[in-house]
A and B are shown apart, each in its own frame.
Chain A
Amino acid sequence: MPTARFLLRPCEQDDLPALERFAAASPVGITTLPNNRAALADRLQRSVHAFATEDASGEEIYLFALEDLISGAVIGISGIAARAGFSDRFYSFRNEFVVHRSKQLAVSTRIHTLHLCHDLTDVTLLISFHIDAAFQHSVAPQLLSRARLLFIAQHAQRFSDRVAAESAGVDDANGHCPFWDAVGRRFFGMDYPTVERLTGGRSKSFIADLMPPSPVYVPLLPEEAQWAIGQLHPVAELPFSILLDEGFDTDTYIDIFDGGPTVQERLGMLKTVSRSRCLQVLRTRDDAADDPAAPLRLLINGSRQGFRATVVQAAGDQSSLSLDAATLAALELEPGAYVRASPLDMGPAQGDPA
């Protein structure tokens, strides 16, 4: 795969139909992409502004579009919220274990508890990961997810040094969420979609404020709800597997509504970021043969508003790498410019859609 097949770039106004398509396919709970044209247009406008502004406050949301350079179609989107819970609190349940011991009864028990917390307030949040099913087994989702981390690293002053991501939890065929039914519903007397409609897009912290601040003792929950803690909705399995590979901590936090895992980690500890280097790009000769041994690399240019990222097989050394003309053009770079590059542990065969 010597030439870039996929390109990640900032969302533009023209991407609204693609956003609508992905929002319509979103399960309940993916509220960062509301299934509403006006709300999506507003979200898109916020993103365009976020990439453009020199005066970042932390309130920004950055949306990225993934293009198939062959068809020109947008096949995926992803995003970054600069600061989780900006201007409000960001709630999570923190998994804790307490050991109770009775010497006289000769019993020691390890009790799983969930503590409502604001630990992840102000961390940078990875949001809105969606990809066309046809490309799920290609390199495209790797680019769609991991390039965000390089963007954060490249523009670190706009973000937290800690990154988190929520993953959708399990529900049944009717949209009933066992964790919500056992915990949230007790305090609201209504199902989760109803609560979402009632809150009218307000901060989720608004709901959390109504929940008891004391810990939830997991053994007291119905078995179905206990089992749902930290479990994934099928649509979340692919993006979660990428986050897992990055080295995110997956055990500490869960979503307060559906019990899905909320991962978090220091940015510098993540695989793509820790292995990234700034390299000078050289142009390969037009008649140069492909090097099948060249490593697969995730590349981003250094621009914010003109952000571009792709994945290619590219030979190089400690200070430079060689790209063909088409890849340089896709990244909007001239020979001699610098890219942030990180190796990607995938075989070249995975570069094509399934």
Chain B
Amino acid sequence: MSALWQVRGVQAADLSTLAGWLPAADLETLDMLESSSDDQLLVAERVQPDGEGSEPLGCIRLRRHIGREVPRYWYHLGRVVHAAPDLGLYRLERRLLLGNDHTGAAELSDLVISPSFVDGEDGTHAALQHLLLSAALLLLQRDDAQLIASERCAKVIVALPGLRDPSGNAPFWEGFGRHFYSGSVEQAQARFGSLWLTYVAALLPRHPLVVSLLHADAQAAIGLIDQQAHSQRDALEALGLRAGQHISVHDGGPVYEASFEQLRHSQAWRLLAVHIGEVDLSAKRCVIAQAHGQNVSQLPASVNAEGALCISAASARRMGIGQSADAVVWVGI
């Protein structure tokens, strides 16, 4: 059995498809030719019987060292206690503080599955999301290991979409941000892409905000994930990320995060030698990347007694891996 899906870097031919998924402003800033760029867009495609790829099934954006050129903003969700023991008064308050706490981190964003994709024999939305997230994390870890310590990202973050009402509006924004920017969010997003968050942050409160002073709907939405992103949350948690202490300045959605150290412990991200041979087709599927490039495959593989990764000859051929003993791959098992 060959891989049903694979992940690769975006190509010019993909842009017409992606234009319907992502704001034009976000695509304009993309450097597709530079695979070592700090800003990469990966697409998932179905592998055809002839080994060729297909139209993009989904995409994910991978950024490193975020906020180093243009500031990025999040709200830190902290706690503060107000107490008067002799009056029997005790209040634990949540508090928001606008800041740039995740500056320098890596970030996965723009996780989109094609609207035309339907769950079927070759997989589900959830599985495709899992693959895209796994592939991006694999590439991040591979490249991180090749950098000197001072150039490494300490952690990776993923901002999950916050709660929406039936009209598609974010209660957090309607009860909070709207008081400071009354313009159209949709128009700002369309015009500036993800940069709109940086631009709107200039209008948001800089002092700590006691949550209990916000509109009740905004309070209730803090840290909640929109129903449509629950599968993404599940995939992130399976990969070792957890909700941290930050939320989106737009919709109050949680920012999931993990340090690379945590990821190494929670997932079997390894550098392995390759052994080409017979592979049990029922073996667990692994995500596999070579030492360079943006291609990530998902295929059945197993680790033999010598600690090498066993893949089939067909898989090796498609990935361009020879029989040389020094062929190594990065593997997420």
Contacts and interface: CB of A to CB of B under 8 A. Distances in A.
Interface of A: 100-105, 107, 109, 111, 113, 182-183, 186-189, 198-199, 206, 209-212, 214-217, 219-221
Nearest to B201: A102
B181 A105 contact: yes
Given A105-B188, A109-B180, A220-B215, A214 B207 contact: yes
Interface in B93-152: 93, 95
Interface residues of B, number: 32
Interface of B: 80, 82-84, 87, 89, 91, 93, 95, 176, 179-181, 183, 188, 192, 195-196, 199-200, 202-205, 207-210, 212-215
A30 B80 CA distance: 31
B61 to A, nearest CB: 21
Contacts of B207: 113, 214-215, 217
Contacts of B208: 212, 214
Contacts of B183: 105, 107
- 10 tightest A-B CB contacts, nearest first: A219-B179, A214-B208, A104-B199, A102-B202, A100-B203, A186-B212, A210-B82, A212-B210, A215-B207, A214-B207
Contact of A111 (B180, B210, B215): B180
Given A102-B202, A210-B91, A217 B209 contact: yes
A101 B202 contact: yes
Given A111-B180, A206-B87, 16 more contacts: A100-B204, A102-B181, A104-B192, A105-B200, A107-B181, A109-B203, A111-B205, A182-B213, A187-B93, A212-B80, A212-B93, A217-B179, A217-B209, A219-B179, A220-B209, A220-B215
Given A187-B93, A220-B214, A105 B203 contact: yes
Contact of B84 (A183, A209, A214, A215): A209
A53 B184 CA distance: 67
A187 B181 CA distance: 27
Contacts of A206: 84, 87
Contact of B91 (A107, A183, A187, A216): A187
A113 B83 CA distance: 24
Contacts of A219: 179-180
A100 B204 CA distance: 8
A179 to B, nearest CB: 12
A182 B93 CA distance: 15
Contacts of A111: 180, 205
A46 B30 CA distance: 76
Contacts of B215: 220
Contact of A210 (B84, B196, B213, B214): B84
A198 B89 CA distance: 10
Nearest to A213: B208
A105 B182 CA distance: 11
Contact of B89 (A103, A107, A188): A188
Given A183-B213, A215-B207, A219-B180, A210 B89 contact: yes
A109 B202 CA distance: 10
Given A212-B208, A221-B213, A107 B203 contact: yes
Nearest to A183: B213
Contacts of B95: 212, 214
A25 B112 CA distance: 67
A65 B183 CA distance: 58
B213 to A, nearest CB: 6
A89 to B, nearest CB: 15
23 contacts: A100-B204, A102-B199, A102-B200, A102-B203, A104-B195, A105-B188, A105-B196, A105-B199, A107-B183, A111-B180, A182-B213, A183-B213, A186-B213, A187-B91, A209-B84, A211-B82, A212-B82, A212-B208, A214-B208, A214-B209, A217-B209, A217-B213, A220-B213
A211 to B, nearest CB: 7
Contacts of B89: 188, 210
Most chain A C-beta atoms within 10 Å of own C-beta, residue among B83, B84, B93, B196: B84
Which of A102, A111, A186, A199 neighbours the largest number of chain B CB atoms within 10 Å of its CB? Answer: A102
Contacts of B181: 102, 105, 107, 109
Nearest to B195: A104
Contacts of B209: 214, 217, 220
Scoring B203, B208, B214 by chain A CB atoms within 10 A of each residue's CB, the highest score goes to: B203
B290 to A, nearest CB: 40
Given A186-B210, A212-B210, A221-B213, A198 B87 contact: yes
Contacts of A104: 192, 195, 199
Nearest to B97: A214
Contacts of A212: 80, 82, 93, 95, 208, 210
Contacts of A102: 181, 199-200, 202-203
B84 A187 contact: no
A198 to B, nearest CB: 6
Contacts of A189: 91
Contacts of B199: 102, 104-105
A210 to B, nearest CB: 5
Contacts of B214: 220
Contacts of A182: 213
A102 B181 CA distance: 10
Contacts of B179: 217, 219-220
Interface centre among A189, A206, A214, A215 (most CB of B within 10 A): A214
A109 B205 CA distance: 11
Contacts of A101: 202-203
Nearest to B96: A214
A224 to B, nearest CB: 14
A272 B195 CA distance: 58
A199 B214 CA distance: 27
A189 B93 CA distance: 13
A220 B214 CA distance: 6
